[in-house]
Homo-oligomer: A and B are copies of this chain.
Amino acid sequence: MSAVLVVGSLAYDSVKTPSGKAEKSLGGSANYFSLAASLFSRVRVVGVVGEDYSEQDRQILLKREVDLTGLQTVAGKTFHWEGTYENNLNEAVTLKTELNVFAQFNPTLPEDYRDSAYVFLANIDPTLQLQVLSQVKKPVFVGMDSMNFWIGSKQSELREVLKKVDIVFMNDAEAKMLTQTSNTITAIKKTAELGPKYVVIKKGEYGATLYSQKYGFYQIPALPVENVVDPTGAGDSFAGGFFGTLASRLNADQIPEWNDLKAATLAGTVMSSQTIQDFSMKALIKVDQNLFEGQLVQLKQMIH
């Protein structure tokens, strides 16, 4: 059992979906990731919030023993994202992004974070991802997420990060955009050539693909969900379940093997399938060990 360090956003989101809407409710990649990962392992958060960030929202992670000593609180307002999902629930349309306190974010790791073995760089400016990673002394296994915005605006920095990570999480459109190809399989292989030993492609209702240059493809379907309320945070919950599972299975000096990564992919799939069943973090927060195990059994039955 080791700990996972995550850097990402803690946010108040306003989201509209075909099921309804949620105004200024808790969100952000580091929040979803940490809540999901904390079911399996210890988590250390690096991030920034404004003075409006409520104690109640902070308690959600604290109750799960997530370490928030790396969470800065500064003058100003918390990061705010406003988005909508139309008929295609796999794709968010961003209506507004207010960086607020994130605009001046200068991540500094508390001393006792620096020995972290497992590191996840959630979807933020690749320059910040690099800044955080450079402060970790001897990372054993590093993952990253990104999005079309950074692929378009900061691709050279993004490629720097890719060279330093072991695994990257993307959706198929992002991988195709990054590698300038129209075939998903080719895009996955080309992405792996940019540095990461492993690539995870998240495909929403179609599940996820884990790829390794050495071991090839491992494919996992999504759990069947009839009531998709709000897809926000699905990818971060996936990564949280994934990294939490790795950290729970391994000691700080152990490098994950193919079997660990396959188990992590299953866990990530379960966590993301829960998140989407309600707005904000309301469904994810209800996932306990029992619910998780039950869903994992159901997932395994669907593929064996």
Q: With an 8 A cutoff between CB atoms, is A224 at the interface? A: yes
CB distance from A97 to the nearest CB of B (A): 27
Task: Evaluate contact between A219 and B221: CB separation under 8 angstroms.
Answer: yes
Q: Which residues of A contact B (CB under 8 A)?
A: 18, 87, 182-186, 189, 203, 205-207, 209, 216-219, 221, 224-228, 301-304
Give min CB distance, A294 to chain B, whole Å: 14
Across the interface, do A219 and B302 meet the contact criterion of CB distance under 8 Å? yes
Q: How far is the CB of A230 from chain B (nearest CB, A)?
A: 14
Q: Chain B residue with minimal CB distance to A203? A: B206
CA distance A187 to B209 in the complex (A): 24
A-B contact pairs, 17 of them (CB 8 A): A183-B227, A185-B226, A186-B226, A203-B206, A206-B206, A206-B207, A207-B221, A209-B221, A216-B301, A216-B302, A217-B221, A218-B302, A218-B303, A219-B303, A221-B221, A303-B303, A304-B304
The 6 A-B residue pairs with the shortest CB-CB distance in the complex, in nearest-first order: A219-B221, A206-B206, A185-B224, A185-B226, A186-B226, A219-B302
* CA–CA, A205 and B219, complex, Å: 12
Known contacts A18-B182, A303-B303, A207 near B226 by CB under 8 Å: no
> Contact between A207 and B186 (Cβ–Cβ < 8 Å)?
no
Closest Cβ–Cβ distance, residue A101 to chain B (whole Å): 37
Alpha-carbon distance between A217 and B226 when the two chains are bound, in angstroms: 13
Q: Which of B207, B217, B224 contacts A224 (CB 8 A)?
A: B217
In the complex, how many angstroms separate the beta carbon of A198 from the nearest chain B beta carbon?
A: 15
Write out the residue numbers on chain B whose beta carbons fall within 8 Å of the beta carbon of A209: 221
Contact between A228 and B301 (Cβ–Cβ < 8 Å)? no
Which residues of chain B have C-beta atoms less than 8 A from A184's C-beta? 205
User: Given the complex, which residues of B lie within 8 Å of A225, measured CB to CB?
Assistant: 185
A219 CB contacts on chain B under 8 angstroms: 207, 221, 302-303
Q: In the complex, which residues of chain B have a beta carbon less than 8 angstroms from the beta carbon of A226?
A: 183, 185-186, 189
Alpha-carbon distance A207/B182, docked complex (angstroms): 18
